[in-house]
Amino acid sequence: MTRRQRRVAFLTGALGVATVAIVLLVTALGDNVLYFYSPSEAKARSVPVGRSINLGGLVEKGSIEHPGGVETRFKVTDGDATVAVTYTRDLPDLFREGQGVVVTGAFREDGGFDASNVLAKHDENYMPPEVARALKDKGVWKEGATKP
């Protein structure tokens, strides 16, 4: 085998190993690549109970309840589907009805969502790009609107 043939064989082998590594990585990540689910996507994909995900949408108007203590209940919607969320910590100061949020947590057996973290937009002109895109696709949120 000449020197050139050895180089070609080495490069071909390295390319094969890199291809296999990329295929394994993409297969392992699967649905976890998605930054967040909208309520419609979460229901359509049947997200397993107890699996930690990010859920994004708008806080439904008239849905915020404070049953006692620091527990807060509210609903997150994308215009098509709604998910009831329970959160037992202090909410961000900017949290309010009609606002875009991303909540981290897991679904319960009854279909409710236990949130461990709530992220709210930081000013009147910002909404996480993924949330804005999903809401625009549903026709619920318009670019430049201060309130959806």
Mean of all residue pLDDT scores within the chain? 83
Does 55 map to a domain?
yes
DSSP 28: H
Q: What is the pLDDT of residue 127?
A: 58
Q: What SS3 class is residue 147?
A: coil
What is the domain extent for residue 13? 1-33
Residues 58 and 85 in one domain: yes
Q: Does 12 lie in the same domain as 62?
A: no
Task: With residue 75 as reference, give the H or E element that holds it.
Answer: strand 71-77
Contact of 43 with 57, CB cutoff 8 Å = no
Least confident of 19-28, 40-49, 82-91, 123-132: 123-132
21-56 pLDDT, tens digit per residue, is: 999 888 877 656 657 888 988 888 888 898 888 998
How far apart, in whole angstroms, are the C-alpha atoms of residue 14 and residue 7? Answer: 10
pTM greater than 0.75: no
Query: How does pLDDT run across 107-118, given as a tens digit for each residue?
Result: 999 989 999 999
At 11, is the pLDDT very low, low, confident or very high (cuts 50, 70, 90)? very high
